[in-house]
C-alpha cells in the first residue's frame, strides 16, 4: 500500500474516532498531499460532508485539478463522483468497492480512470461500521 492510501485510511480512522463514518480521502498533486478529509456527516450534522467533499474543501482553490489524483478508502458515491467530474480530476484510487459499489461507471463514462485496490483493511473498516450502525450507514447512502 502506498503512503497516500495509508493517509486516506488514517483519515477514515480519525472520522471513526470522532464518532463518524470511517471513510477517508486525500488529494495528491505533484506527489504531495494537498488536501485531506473524512466523512463528517454526523460530526457536522451536514448531509453532504462526505470524505471526498471534505478533502476538496480542505485543499482549497487550486485552479486546475486535471493533474491531481483523488484517493478514497471507498469508491466515491454519485455526490462525490459528481465533484470529481465537475473539477476535472482524471484519476481516482479507491481502497475498495465491495461494501459499496459507488459511481465507478459514471466516473469512467466521463473519462476518469478509476482503480479499485480491493484492500482488506478498507473493507473491514466498513463491514464493522455497517454491522454496528446499519441505520447510520443507510442514511449516508440514501436508503
Confidence category of residue 1, pLDDT binned at 50, 70, 90: low
Q: What is the pLDDT of residue 122?
A: 98
pLDDT tens figures, 45-95: 999 999 999 999 999 999 999 999 999 999 999 999 999 999 999 999 999
Q: What is the pLDDT of residue 135?
A: 87
The gap from C-alpha 32 to its chain's centroid, in whole angstroms, comes to 17
Distance between CA atoms of 20 and 17, rounded to whole angstroms?
A: 7
Catalytic residue among 52, 105, 108, 139: 52
**CA-to-CA distance for 52 and 23, rounded, in angstroms?**
9
Backbone angle region of 63, left / alpha / beta, with phi > 0 → left and psi within -120 to 50 → alpha? left
What are the tens digits of pLDDT across the range 6-32? 999 999 999 999 999 999 999 999 999
CATH class held by domain 3-141: alpha beta
**For the whole prediction, is pTM greater than 0.85?**
yes
Domain ranges within the chain, ordered by starting residue:
3-141
Give residue 5's pLDDT: 98
Reported as a pLDDT band with limits 50, 70 and 90, residue 36 is: very high
52 is catalytic: yes
The pLDDT of residue 139 is 78
Amino acid at each position: 500500500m502506498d503512503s497516500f492510501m495509508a493517509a486516506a485510511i488514517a483519515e477514515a480512522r480519525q472520522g471513526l474516532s470522532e464518532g463518524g463514518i470511517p471513510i477517508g480521502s486525500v488529494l495528491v498533486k505533484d506527489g504531495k498531499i494537498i488536501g485531506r478529509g473524512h466523512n463528517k456527516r454526523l460530526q457536522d450534522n451536514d448531509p453532504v460532508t462526505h470524505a471526498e467533499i471534505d478533502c476538496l474543501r480542505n485543499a482549497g482553490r487550486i485552479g486546475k485539478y486535471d493533474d491531481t489524483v483523488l484517493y478514497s478508502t471507498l469508491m466515491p458515491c454519485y455526490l462525490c463522483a459528481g465533484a470529481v467530474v465537475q473539477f476535472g480530476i482524471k484519476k481516482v484510487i479507491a481502497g475498495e468497492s465491495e461494501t459499496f459499489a459507488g459511481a465507478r461507471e459514471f466516473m469512467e463514462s466521463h473519462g476518469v480512470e478509476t482503480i479499485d485496490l480491493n484492500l482488506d483493511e478498507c473493507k473491514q473498516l466498513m463491514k464493522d461500521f455497517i454491522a454496528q450502525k446499519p441505520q447510520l450507514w443507510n442514511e449516508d447512502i440514501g436508503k
